[in-house]
């Protein structure tokens, strides 16, 4: 008896969760059209994309613990993505992994395509005022990887922003890099929301990630 798209979608998701993923969603590529990408005919070749999230609090709850476990976080994501990709290809479908630390345009800090945009389209979370993907269960304390595929998976519905009037990350930012700009779905540009020259996210600051009240662990 042949597997239905629903059964196959659930199997892929269950497999990723078994491998250590905390959240898994499927995006319809039509909702990503217009997003910057450096891959020719990406949207024409792959009608679906799987977003996989791993919560960073698996590796610690402080900035120091999260930063020191960075390599382990990436290794876990890469292992999950590779094994899920292999499973899909064994079924005769194509895949393309968008690695979490790919950087094609170093000056503009852009990868092949935004894993955050894929996660948003896949219903993992929404784009918060910090420009991080905010999930209902873990807040923005997640790392992401994406797998583009032509496997006929059932897409999930994107989530509406739930940040509302919250300004916790705005107030807590030590560099005052966040501009507290309101937007319905996503801003016109990163610069509209974030002063990139002030933000020290790449060098280890995780304040906006850790202070978000959504999904925060009470200690």
> Binning pLDDT at 50, 70 and 90, where does residue 65 land?
very high
* The predicted structure's pLDDT at residue 219: 43
* The predicted structure's pLDDT at residue 202: 64
The CA radius of gyration of the chain, in Å to the nearest whole number, is 17
Between these two residues, 87 and 106, which has the higher pLDDT value? 87
Residue 164's alpha-carbon distances to 53, 79, 124, 129, 159, in angstroms, are 23, 36, 18, 10, 13
- pLDDT beyond 90 at 24: yes
In a 13 Å sphere around the CA of 124, the CA atoms on its Cβ side amount to 38
Domain coordinates in residue numbering, the chain: 5-211
Average pLDDT over residues 10-15: 98
* The predicted structure's pLDDT at residue 1: 42
> Binning pLDDT at 50, 70 and 90, where does residue 112 land?
confident
pTM across the whole model: 0.92
- pLDDT beyond 60 at 197: yes
- pLDDT beyond 80 at 113: yes
* The predicted structure's pLDDT at residue 214: 94
Length of the chain: 219
In a 13 Å sphere around the CA of 59, the CA atoms on its Cβ side amount to 22
- pLDDT beyond 70 at 131: yes
Residue 88's alpha-carbon distances to 63, 139, 151, 185, in angstroms, are 36, 29, 7, 31
- What percentage of the chain exceeds 90 in pLDDT? 70
SS (H, E, C) the chain: CCCCHHHHHHHHHHHHHHCCCCEEEEEEHHHHCCCCECCCCHHHHCCEEEEEEEEHHHCCCCHHHHHHCHHHHHHHHHHHHHHHHHHHHHCCCCEEEECCCCCCECCCCECCECHHHHHHHCCCCEECCCCCEEECCCECCEEEEEEEECCCCCCCCCCCCCCCCCCHHHHHCCCCCECCCCCCCCCCCHHHHECCCCCCHHHCCCHHHHHCCCCCCCC
- pLDDT beyond 90 at 54: yes
* The predicted structure's pLDDT at residue 80: 98
Residue 26 CA to its chain's centroid (Å): 12
* The predicted structure's pLDDT at residue 3: 73
- pLDDT beyond 80 at 76: yes
Least confident of 18-27, 62-71, 150-159: 62-71
């Amino acid at each position: 008896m042949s597997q239905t798209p629903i059964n196959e979608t659930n199997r892929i998701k269950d497999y990723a969760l078994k491998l250590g993923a905390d959240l898994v969603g499927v995006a319809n590529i039509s909702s990503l059209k217009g997003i910057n990408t450096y891959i020719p005919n990406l949207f024409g070749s792959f009608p679906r994309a799987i977003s996989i999230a791993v919560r960073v609090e698996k590796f610690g709850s402080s900035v120091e613990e999260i930063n020191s476990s960075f390599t382990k976080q990436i290794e876990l994501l890469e292992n999950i993505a590779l094994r899920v990709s292999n499973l899909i290809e064994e079924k005769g479908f194509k895949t393309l992994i968008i690695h979490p630390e790919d950087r094609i345009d170093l000056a503009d800090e852009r990868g092949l395509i935004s894993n955050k945009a894929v996660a948003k389209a896949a219903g993992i979370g929404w784009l918060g005022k910090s420009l991080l993907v905010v999930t209902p269960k873990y807040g923005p304390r997640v790392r992401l990887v994406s797998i583009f595929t032509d496997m006929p998976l059932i897409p999930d519905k994107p989530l509406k922003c739930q940040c509302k009037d919250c300004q916790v990350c705005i107030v807590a930012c030590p560099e005052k890099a966040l501009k507290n700009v309101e937007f319905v779905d996503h801003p016109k540009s990163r610069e509209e929301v974030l002063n990139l020259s002030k933000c020290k996210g790449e060098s280890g600051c995780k304040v906006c990630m850790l202070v978000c009240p959504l999904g925060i662990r009470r200690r």
